[in-house]
Structure 1
Amino acid sequence: MVYSVNSSNSDKTVADNYLDKRDKKNNSSAPSSYKNVDKLAQQANRQANRRQQKQQLENSDPGKAPGKQIKSASISAENNVARLLVEQAMRQPESPAMILPGQAPIKFGHLLAHAAMWQKELLLSYKPGDRIVLLVLPGIELYSLLLAILASGMSVVFIDPSMGKLKMLRAIKRSKAKAIISYQRLLKYKIFVPDLWMIDCISIDQSPWSKLTPADDKQQPAIVPVAREFSALISWTSGTTGNPKGAIRQHLHLQAQHMALHNHWHEHPGEVVLSGMPVMALHFMVCGCCTLPPDIDLSNPQADAEKVVRQIREHRVRRIISFPALLERLAKTLEAQNTVIPGVAYIGIGGSPVSQKLCMRLEKVFPLARVEVVYGSTEAEPIAFVTASDWLSEFPSQGYLVGRPVSETLLAIVPTETQLKSGEQVLQASLGTNQLGEILVCGRHVLNGYLNDVKATAENKLFCDNGFCWHKTGDTGYLDARGRLWLTGREKQRVFSDGRMVDVYPIESEAENLPGIARAILVQQSARKYPLMVLESENKNIPQASISLLEQLLIRTGFADARVLVHPSIPMDSRHHSKVDRKAILQWSKTHPKR
């Protein structure tokens, strides 16, 4: 069945061969505010039989072993996360949904009309449960296509371009996508890639789709009923090492994530938010906010944030949600101008460890803003928050303070050596106050698996009998006496010293607070090699006094044999330009002498 969100009638049609007696009973309670509106959507829905539903459920719940798939699924338009955005947009069709650099604001009504236009084209060839890869830049095309695909009961596949061509192709193949939507400059190479020959490649700039225009701004996409466990978004990332993993966000995860963020941030319709994260932009639009992508190329180390500063002033931005890389550029630009921006009320920093120096700089150039560190990951967002003022009050630090876990997250610290077999064992093995171990999280917004990747799911998930799962973050840390979470490192980035494995964040964070040191990274080739402390200076030269204090720190922490190197510009990840590429540092260190 397909329902529209603006109807007061209760007209309902049961799809042929789609629901058995169990599901008919569940669907009998479908909300009366929905009715069938689109013949193409109805036709696609009738084609969705029991076999397709089973396939969707199995793909949506990869963490469970064969035979343990969801036993019952209630199919309803209420479960479709796209409904939240459509309803919000219909309440404020004339309000701006986003503002692209150099363009007029895009209204919510215009976004809906574009989504309805794309949906009609999609339903001519694809059905609920199909996966569609989106390789489109942030803008009206990206977000209207995202809304159209979700509303149609299909799954959106995002692939991180920074993982490289081979890994991207591997991710596309493993996604078993029915189509790729992108630009002709990328899709024209399909003929040379056999893995793409059986996948529809749709160009939005040089194909019949590029000539489509909405009939009017009063249209909206129909909402296809889904089970809340159906896949909504599949995000392929690989970090700096390893094979790509497709993290599955089900409709229930996106709705739970939205509520967890909104319960903390309390956004108001009409607020302008600067953010370049597609999933976060979706959340803010559901809240009725206007999203503003930052006008900057973070891959260019020389690019300043002058254009972003103008965006913030011109559009009266109230909130900024971003990675440290952008906020560092913003702080540097405003410091060089010897000016401040008092109009910003909130800044959220996430994506990598956040130094006290950055928090201090942001509080100076945004004097009226509440600055917070947001701790989370692709698999669990959010986990915890901490204000910059709380973080700055801790000196010397014992790692990176990320604050108290949000109420929607159940968090446990377990010994890193413990081999747990099920989710029920997590709380039994959890450690007490100030005891260091691996961080595990559980909650409705915590993702429960990776697409077609039993190994990755088994390595990172512990399932409970009640259907929830614990996610192993790979981060190490502890809870202090005030219930606040401290990060002390990554389990796979520990270094060896005096017969023990040591977390690096407490040493790195203390070193970064020394004058003249922008970054400090402690790495090691292997347990048989001496550790390396790699520094990046703030102004080309590091004061000798800071070097002396650093040497004392290394001696005090058991790393008297560490070699100190100065890197001209410590390499960062190509995705967010905020996480240190430790593998690249080790490679670089082989050809450079110690200080």
Structure 2
Amino acid sequence: MSECIATIQHSESATGKRCNVSDHITEQARMRPDATAIIEQATGQRITFGELERTINALAAGLTQYGISNGTRAVLAVRPGIEFVALVLALFRAAAVPIVVDPGMGRKNMLACIGEAKPEALIGISAAHALSQVFRKPFASVTKRVTVGRRWFWGGKTYSQLASIDASSFKAPQTRANDLAAILFTSGATGVPKGVEYEHGMFDGQVLAIRDYFGIQPGEIDVPCFALFALFTVGMGCTIVLPDMDFSKPGKCDPAKIVAAIEQHKASLTFGSPAVWARVAPWLQAQGRMFPESLRRILIAGASVPLKTHEALAELLPNGRVFTPYGATESLPVACIDGRTLLEKFATRMKSGEGTCVGKPLPGVDVKIVRSPKSEVRSQRLEDFVPLPVGEIGEIIVSSATTTRSYFNRPEQTAASKLTATSDSGLRTPDPYHRMGDVGYFDAEGNLWFCGRANHVVHTPSGPLYPDQVEGVFNAMPHVLRSALIGYPVGAAEQTPAVVVDIAPVTGVPVTKVWAEVTAREKAVLELAARSPVTRGIARIIFDDDFPLDVRHNAKIDRIELARRHALPVGGKGGSA
């Protein structure tokens, strides 16, 4: 399968060798048919690689017979589990295009995304089909239906029917590296949700990049707290243990159940958002327990990871390492750093307001820091974006084998986010640079520093303020759980900065002294903020314990919504609140 990533890197035509990420399961089934591929912690159900391969092949044959193949767009609305993994891989094998929409984004956004994708098929649980009968417009293009579970009046096929198909004579369509494989919608945490077009070679490149960088071997046990990550590691030959949790609400997971899955199955690897580990780490500390010796890697992604979380996990994971990959739906992985290196070499700089170090770019990933043209100049030419020297903050752009090329049915957004370069021969190169929408810089050692989302930068009369730099100072203060830089008026070219701070709840003191302790903590925050050159210009500090978060990882702070919530009335004065 290594040919796939080479095809993308060298921009060969789509007429090359077969490339399909489902073929990794075929290989694992050939080598280790009786090894367990998937375990559902909640139900106890499990399936071997041999059984999974047969199920994928039967489903792919059934889907093809039913007319779901060769580019058919199919909305997938199935809860994470054995059926979810088998269906995604079967759709890949049938050369159909699964459309993955995050249910946590809310019904309105979810229906809008489905309508935009114009699906020809709906594959989902009974509730999803029932929803399509109530809200008919987004599903108007659907002509094929597959029900996972009980089928009612809407017709179509069932999962069980397709899974029982005799696939002995089935021959999978020949997919190439550049063929469209899936449409994955962004969460919309910092804008409108967009459908990202993934090619088969990009998925294969991600499997290979993650496997090789982290040294993941067949036979390892993975507890993924993010469902899509399971598709990568099962392809590497890992046994995936799907924990008993609501994958659409990681910030509400039961830490005891996450730890139970890791301990019972002697997991060596686990992946989750910062929201998961912000619950698991304190729970383990309160129990006086550690992670089991089997656990060697914790991968955390989705938002910047607080240093306090890194510090807690370092104590709880003496035999392993914490990794924080940086990337986005449109390009991942981009860079990575491990927690111990972060704490030993960069924590002091982060606490003093230099931003968040996300490590060095992965092999084969080209990251540039550039100054974009003036806002009135619309350009897709890389040459119009000026490279910036070491230490200077600018826009982060990325090109790699796993960088996507376009958004589905959104030519304007594609044009605004993709840059192409001119080769030495004067021809336009087909591999784009993606504008991450983030700002940052490189230090002298080649480490990439993340300073925040570009649309969260607060532009003041004395210069720009960057979220991860300002918040790094506040988050290092005693009793501060989290903070968020905001600017008002929202959307103005020039803004007044403010910081919203979440103070730890007061415990262990008499009720009569709680308010005095809260007041003392808030006063300490104000005094410490006034001492730092990064934060002393903050005009207003607000105390709030309810931050709006993204729907996918429950970890990205919606700073614009927070700013609207705390907006001053016209003519209002700044100051501490």
**TM-score, normalized by length of structure 2?**
0.85
Assess if the C-alpha contact under 8 Å between 2:59 and 2:162 holds in 1. no
SS at 1:468's partner residue? coil
Check if 1:410 corresponds to 2:352: no
Per-residue CA distance 1:260-296 (angstroms, 9 max, x = gap): 2122011111111111334321111111001122323
Who is 1:525 aligned against?
Answer: 488
Q: Which moved more, 1:461-470 or 1:111-120?
A: 111-120
Per-residue CA distance 1:436-483 (angstroms, 9 max, x = gap): 100111111111111111011011101232211000001111100100
Count, aligned residues: 526
Check if 1:516 corresponds to 2:479: yes
Deviation, 1:118, is 1.5
Who is 1:201 aligned against?
Answer: 145
Q: Aligned Cα RMSD in Å?
A: 2.8
Per-residue CA distance 1:211-258 (angstroms, 9 max, x = gap): 438559997974320232111121012423533211011011111222
Assess if the C-alpha contact under 8 Å between 1:100 and 1:292 holds in 2. yes
Deviation, 1:415, is 1.2
Deviation, 1:186, is 2.2
| 2:222 aligns with one of 257, 261, 273 | 273
Identity %: 26
CA distance in 1, matches of 2:270, 2:169: 29
Assess if the C-alpha contact under 8 Å between 1:114 and 1:213 holds in 2. no
Who is 1:550 aligned against?
Answer: 528
Gaps of 5+ in 1: 6-29, 31-60, 62-69
Assess if the C-alpha contact under 8 Å between 2:34 and 2:48 holds in 1. yes
Who is 2:548 aligned against?
Answer: 571
Are residues 195 and 354 of structure 1, via their aligned partners in 2, closer, same or farther at CA, if it must alter by over 3 Å?
closer
Deviation, 1:100, is 0.7
Counterpart of 1:448 in structure 2: which amino acid? R
Per-residue CA distance 1:384-420 (angstroms, 9 max, x = gap): 1111122113203210000011111011000144657
Check if 1:129 corresponds to 2:71: yes
Who is 1:317 aligned against?
Answer: 267
CA distance in 2, matches of 1:302, 1:172: 26
CA distance in 2, matches of 1:178, 1:568: 44
Check if 1:430 corresponds to 2:387: yes
Who is 1:360 aligned against?
Answer: 311
Deviation, 1:302, is 6.0
SS at 1:79's partner residue? coil
CA distance in 2, matches of 1:500, 1:218: 64
Who is 2:424 aligned against?
Answer: none
| 2:355 aligns with one of 387, 395, 399 | 399
Assess if the C-alpha contact under 8 Å between 1:113 and 1:217 holds in 2. no
SS at 2:496's partner residue? coil
Deviation, 1:580, is 0.7
CA distance in 2, matches of 1:261, 1:211: 33
Q: Which moved more, 1:453-462 or 1:99-108?
A: 99-108
Check if 1:349 corresponds to 2:300: yes
SS at 1:255's partner residue? helix
Are residues 420 and 174 of structure 1, via their aligned partners in 2, closer, same or farther at CA, if it must alter by over 3 Å?
closer
| 2:416 aligns with one of 454, 459, 464 | 459
Who is 1:537 aligned against?
Answer: 503
Check if 1:90 corresponds to 2:33: no
Assess if the C-alpha contact under 8 Å between 2:77 and 2:128 holds in 1. no
Who is 1:42 aligned against?
Answer: none
**TM-score, normalized by length of structure 1?**
0.82
Counterpart of 1:201 in structure 2: which amino acid? R
Assess if the C-alpha contact under 8 Å between 2:14 and 2:179 holds in 1. no
SS at 1:146's partner residue? helix
CA distance in 1, matches of 2:561, 2:182: 31
Deviation, 1:594, is 4.5
Q: Which moved more, 1:407-416 or 1:526-535?
A: 526-535
